[in-house]
Structures are given as structure tokens and as C-alpha cells.
Amino acid sequence: MTINSTLSRRLLALGGWVLLCFAAASLGGFFGPGEWYASLKKPSWNPPGWIFGPVWTALYTMMAVAAWLVWRQGGWGKQRKPLLIFLTQLALNALWTPLFFGWHRPGVAFAEIVLLWLAIAATIAGFRPVSRTAILLLVPYLAWVSFASVLNFTLWRLNP
């Protein structure tokens, strides 16, 4: 394989991971906060709405790069397990928005976000032997989901 074809393959794969992550993100576009969310009692530390777009854009980009870095170390053949764990957390990520914003089920969404947090931690553990950089790229995601978990729980308790 030539250097150009290797580079092309790697860039194509990176694009694939980016598309996959943003496809999961795009599902949230069908379930915006809307009037229901606006009517909820919120804690004083609830972030302003404008912050979510930039934060999630950065997080999905970092998630894609992290998965790509792991994929580069042997592809699906060698990295099947950590990449499947990654895909599991990505599916859980995509599920939270419809549960919370679409179906207005903050209690169920809280249970699901706990599973998401565990899946992110498992992804980090799975990526650990493969790429330190991939782990570092996922740490802000875990931190944000930790914060979101506390916020989700608080919203659920404030709005029984």
C-alpha cells in the first residue's frame, strides 16, 4: 500500500467516525427542548441553552477522533471489543434525548444516563491499552455526562 492510499484510507475512516458520531447527535434534532423543558423548574446552576451546541459539537468531534485512533491500531479485526463498547455508549447517548425531551420521562432518562456514564467509563477502560490520547479525548465527555447526570436527577426531583 502506498503512502497516499494509506493516508486516504485513514482520512476516509476518520470521516466515517465523524459521520457516525454526528449521525447519533442528529437524532436529538428531532426532540428539541421546547415548551415542556421551558416550563420545568430548574436549579440556579442550570446552564444557558446556547452552551449545549458548542459543547456537544466539541464532544462528538473528540469522540470520533478517539474511536478513530483506536481503530487505527488494527481496525475492527484487532480492536473489535473496545470499538463495540464505544458503539454501545454512542447508542445510549443517542437514546437519552428522545427519553428526556421527546417523551418527557426524566426519571427514565436518569436511569439511562447512569447506564451511559457506565458505558463511557467502560469505553475508556477498553481504550486504555490501545491509546492514551483516545482516553484523554473522552475525559471531557465523561465529565460533561457526569454534570448532565446530576442535572437530570435534579430536574427529575424538582419536577415530579
pLDDT value of position 4:
75
Domain segments of the chain as ranges: 53-160
SS3 content of the chain, % helix, strand, coil (to 5): 85, 0, 15
Compute the mean pLDDT over every residue in the chain, rounded to the nearest whole number: 95
pLDDT value of position 7:
84
Whether residue 82 is predicted with pLDDT greater than 80 in this model: the reply is yes
Whether residue 1 is predicted with pLDDT greater than 90 in this model: the reply is no
The residues, ordered by sequence, that sit 6+ positions from 5 with a Cβ below 8 Å of its Cβ are none
Q: What is the mean pLDDT of residues 62-77?
A: 97
pTM for the full predicted model: 0.94
pLDDT value of position 3:
75
Contact between residue 113 and residue 145 where contact means Cβ atoms under 8 Å apart: yes
